[in-house]
Structures are given as structure tokens and as C-alpha cells.
Amino acid sequence: MESIFRWQKLGKVFDPKDLNTESWMSEFAQSPTVLIREKTVRVYFCSRPEPSPKGLYLSYVSFIDLDRKNLLKVLRVCVRPVLSLGDYGTFDEFGTYPVTVIPDGEEIRIYYAGWTRCESVPFNAAIGLAISRDGGENFQRLGDGPVLSYTPDEPFLLGSPRVRRFNDMWQLWYVAGKEWRNIDNKPEPLYKIRLATSDDGIHWVKEGRDLITDKLGKFECQACPDVCFRNGLYHMFFSYRYISNYKGREGGYRIGYASSEDMLHWNRNDDLVDIECSETGWDSEMVNYPHLFELDGHTYMFYQGNGMGKTGFGLAKMESESIWD
């Protein structure tokens, strides 16, 4: 019998609404990703001001610093976005979400999905890169265009980037849109997990196929895959839901799991990951967008809760490290 990845929920870490201030950081704390420092753990995430009168949002990259010895203790909240929105007409004019952060020598890189608004459907997205040379306080775009964009077989909606480095190469897991469907007179996207690789983290070669089999049928949406390597296997934790009826407890995002020996061929088994919605509270409807990290001999997972992060993000700790053995 295979071992189960059991997670102990430690509690909600951050929700901008708890600040009780009028701010550009008003709602949402989405897609948490960590930068581990000597005394703190910096968590980058995406936050939003109040929506426009038409209900339209912008999204900005934010961060908080946590006490390394107590990951539920917030020491600092950034006072402004670390990356400005894109210029007029660019691919990231209206938002940056989700994000992933990774150090590269003296620099720190953020890969992000840049959002633009559309006419027949609500939005489109492509993946951009910004670089910090001041320790992660501010980031500047590599350029006005994305580093991973649309192709004939991936015509729209490239997002959910998660970047790792294995075997002296850069790996970028992302989602690619398959189609838009009209659900109750509202356009909804269908997207699947894919992989691109690079030797410099800028110029990418796409694998060009979906990686994870469907559990909920062909209209299953998959998002934000995060991958770690332990004892000869690559382990992927990701989010999934059905294309419709996904905003409540019944159909909300859940966390799935797959393993691989080569990062190309994955064996999905969601029964091996044990982290479910709480009975009540901020993560009672969905658990999603997992991000794994190791700290001082323990494995942790940040994840976002109800409303795809509208209620903030929380922390879970793997109950036993022996599962990796």
C-alpha cells in the first residue's frame, strides 16, 4: 500500500481584509510563493484593490515577511506593489496573477501570468518575467512582451506558472487554454497542465502536450502545479475542478497529486494527498494553488482558500517526513 501525504493545517496566514485599511491591497491573497531568507520567509502573492463600478479587477504582486521561527507571525507587509502593471496595450496591462519566485545568483526572478481584457471573453493571459536586483523589494520586466506566449496549438490563456530547476535546466509548469465554453450564458475557459524547459529561463521549448490525466472528465480544469524531487521521484501537487459550478463547496478546487520519474510521464493518484476543506471558515469551500517548500527539516505547503484566494492563504505542515523514504 502506498503512503499518504497527510497534512496538518496550521491556520490562515494572511488576508488583506484583516488589515482594515483602504489600500491597493484590499482583497485576495492568491498564489503564495516563498523566498527563504536568514531570519524570515518572504511570501509573494497577488492582491487586488476594490473592483471598478463595472466589477472589473486589477491584480498586483505583493509580499509579506514571516518570522522564520513562527510562520504564522507576520513581521512586515509591503507598502506598494513590487511590480507595476504593464503599459497601455501590453499583455499585462490589467494584472499579474499567478506568480512564482526563484533566486538566480544575485538576482531574484518572478514569473507571472499577465492579464489583458477581451471583448467576447473576459480575459487572456501569457507568461512574463521580471527581475529584482535589490533583494526582492522591486522588480523590473525583462521587456514589454511575454517569455511564453500563444502558438497555433496553444492559442490562448497561458498561466499558472511554477518554475523549478532540476538537472541544470529550468522547468516551467504552466496551464494552457484548450477552449472557451458557454456555461449558463457566461464564457468559461478549459485549461490543462503542460511543461516547457529552458537552459537560461528566458527562451523556452514547449513539450507540447497535456501532462495529467483527467479525473472529472474532459472538462476538468487543472491549475498551479508545483513540483519537488525526493528519492528518485518527482512529486506534483496541483489544483483541479470541473469547468462549471466551482465557486462553492460542492465543486470548488481541490488539491491533486501525481508522480513521475522523468517529468514527462505522470501517474496521477489523488487519493495519496490528504488535505480537505474545513467544516467552516476561510477554507471550507475550496483548497487550491498549493506551493511546497522545505524549511529547517520540515515540508510545508501554502495554499489559498475560498473564492480562489479571496479569503486569503494558509499554511499546512506534512505530518511525517518519512513518507519521502
pLDDT at 61: 97
- State the DSSP string of 214-274: -SS-TTEEEEEEEEEEETTEEEEEEEEEESSS-SSTTT--EEEEEEESSSSSEEE-GGGEE
Mean pLDDT of 119-135: 97
Instruction: Using the predicted structure, report yes or no on whether residue 191 has a pLDDT greater than 80.
Output: yes
Mean pLDDT of 282-291: 97
Total length of the chain:
325
DSSP character for 59?
A: B
- 207-265 tens-digit pLDDT: 999 999 999 999 999 999 999 999 899 999 999 999 999 999 999 999 999 999 999 99
- 22-70 tens-digit pLDDT: 778 999 999 999 999 999 999 999 999 999 999 999 999 999 999 999 9
pLDDT at 182: 96
Q: Flag whether the pTM goes above 0.85.
A: yes
- From the list 236, 229, 230, 232, the residue with the least C-alpha distance to 195 is 236
196 forms beta bridges with 172, 206
Mean of the per-residue pLDDT values of the chain: 96
Instruction: Using the predicted structure, report yes or no on whether residue 21 has a pLDDT greater than 90.
Output: no
pLDDT at 22: 72
pLDDT at 1: 43
H-helix or E-strand containing 306? helix 306-309
pLDDT band at 2 (very low <50, low <70, confident <90, very high): low
Number of domains in the chain: 1
The residue segments making up the domain with residue 39 are 5-324
How much of the chain, in percent, has pLDDT values that exceed 70? 99
Max alpha carbon distance in the chain (Å)? 55
Q: For residue 211, what is the domain's CATH number?
A: 2.115.10.20
